[in-house]
Chains A and B, each alone.
Chain A
Amino acid sequence: MPNKVLLKIENLKVKANHQEILKGINLKIEKKQIQAILGPNGSGKSVLCQTILGNPKYKITQGKIIFQEKNINKLPPEKRVKLGLALSWQNPPSLRGIKLVDLLKKISQEKIKIEEGKHLLNRQVNLDFSGGEKKISELLQLLSLKPKLVIFDEIDSGLDLEKIKKIAKIIKKEFVDRGISLLIITHNGEILKFLKPQLTNVMIKGKIVCQQKNFQKVLKTIKKYGYEKCQKCLS
């Protein structure tokens, strides 16, 4: 029987600037599955994303990241991307002198067939883009990569409800309906209402403290009691 697990993280501990940020993360994402990670600011969500993608700034001190049954701990970012991992950045940097259209062409020869973002193509990547435009630019780039698992780092941050709805609609059509697995990292959880994850994790202080199938229950608890309630789960 084929293995359904796409990404498996085992007891992952990560340091940056001599400080331990991730303190033993365990996570499993299956093919075609949507999972979410909710957590307060500074809980290590973005560090987890960047570590999965191989950002050399973050050092793995213990544990394994296994993608498609292969330990990718030592693979450089570009090789992880070739295997099918992709990350949408929360705050992508501006690339001066590089037009989005040229970057997309370099990523893939295949033309992306979505209407959104056409007006961004001849602008320099992320330079003077609004929050919403940056998210669209990220989506266009991810589509060019033809990923198997996409991690969205705070794709809903700084957007109003209408924009979140629009972004969620694109994600559903372009990724979910094509069977691409998703890991949605979010602070406020708004986007989960539209993408309905099958499993929702809560991350506090570098650890996943709970996993729930019912994302609404998690959102309701956080909304009512804040992450303080989750904090108590730790103690």
Chain B
Amino acid sequence: MSGAGFLLDLHRCVGCGACVLACRIENDRAELAAWRRVLPLNLRRHPGGPTYFLSVACHHCEQPACLKGCPSGAYEKRADGIVVHREERCLGCRYCEMTCPFGTPRYDAARGVISKCHLCAPRVDAGRLPACVAACPTEALRLVTASTPPTGEATVRVPGFTDPASCRPSLAFLAPAGMRRAGLFRSLEEGLKR
């Protein structure tokens, strides 16, 4: 990770969805599909794996597949790493929905355009945290920038999250702790490496 993005502490995230609601409020998405989602892993608590939650929006990839797949140049990767989508250039062709492996772009049928998380660029430009990060009651979701990169313990590949190899998403994770969960997480992680 070299630019702006997110760090999610899987030990602290309780999957509450406050981030999703804060994003809805901040970005005027009361009636539209939310940009952020919480994906629970193993809510049934199968003994073979840990239970944790992936709070995900746009990962502001180093090699954004949305940008590569966009025929109209609606996507831009800013110098600070934020990937923004410029609605005025959007054809509504929805190719980016197909090229993004994370299901990030949202199509707004009423207006015929795509939209997505812009990491609250107006807030970040004003020196504030993105709304989702500011709202997180357990401080599990954090902002990463070029000057505040994730710590050495952070990992980019975790069970349940799409293989990041193709587009190098700017999303890192801290592994869950806890006697039961830490061991289960490590064993699944070993499986990913094999």
| Binding between chains A and B | no
Which residues of A are interface residues toward B (Cβ below 8 A)?
Answer: none
Which residues of B are interface residues toward A (Cβ below 8 A)?
Answer: none
